[in-house]
Amino acid sequence: MGAVLVFVDGVGIGARDPSVNPLARRETLLSQFADGSGTPLPRGGARRDVDATLGVPGRPQSATGQTSILTGENAPALLGRHLLGFPNAPLRDLLARRSIFRRLRDAGRRAALLNAYPVGYLDALGLPHRPLAGPAEPALPLAARRLKPAAALFATASAGLPIATFDDVRAGRALTHDLTGAAAHRRFPQIPVRTPEEAADVLADRSAELDFCLVDDYRTDDAGHAQDFAAADVAIADLDRFLRRLLDRLPLDGTSLFVVSDHGNLEDLRTRNHTLARVPLLAFGPAASRPLPDRLDGVAEVLLQAALA
Q: Look at residue 199 in the predicted model and tell me its pLDDT.
A: 98
Give the contacts of 247 (CB within 8 A, at least 6 positions apart). 42, 43, 45, 257, 284
Burial 228-241 (b: 16+ CB within 10 A, else e): bbebbebbbebbbb
- Helix %, strand %, coil % of the chain (to 5): 40, 15, 45
In which element (H, E) is residue 7 found?
strand 2-8
Burial of 20 (0-12, 13-18, 19+ CB in 10 A): middle
- Asked if residue 112 has pLDDT above 80, the reply is yes
Residue type, 124: A
Instruction: Say if residues 300 and 308 touch (Cβ distance below 8 Å).
Output: no
Identity of the residue numbered 24 = A
pLDDT digits (tens, 9 = 90+) for 192-239: 999 999 999 999 999 999 999 999 999 999 999 999 999 999 999 999
Residue 136's pLDDT is 81
Residue 126 above 60 pLDDT?
Answer: yes
On whether the CB atoms of residues 261 and 236 are closer than 8 A, the answer is no
Q: What is the count of structural domains for the chain?
A: 1
Q: What is the dihedral of CA 48, 8, 4, 301, to 10 degrees?
A: -50
Domain that holds residue 137: 2-308
Residue 75 has pLDDT above 60, yes or no: yes
Q: What is the CATH number of the domain that holds 165?
A: 3.40.720.10
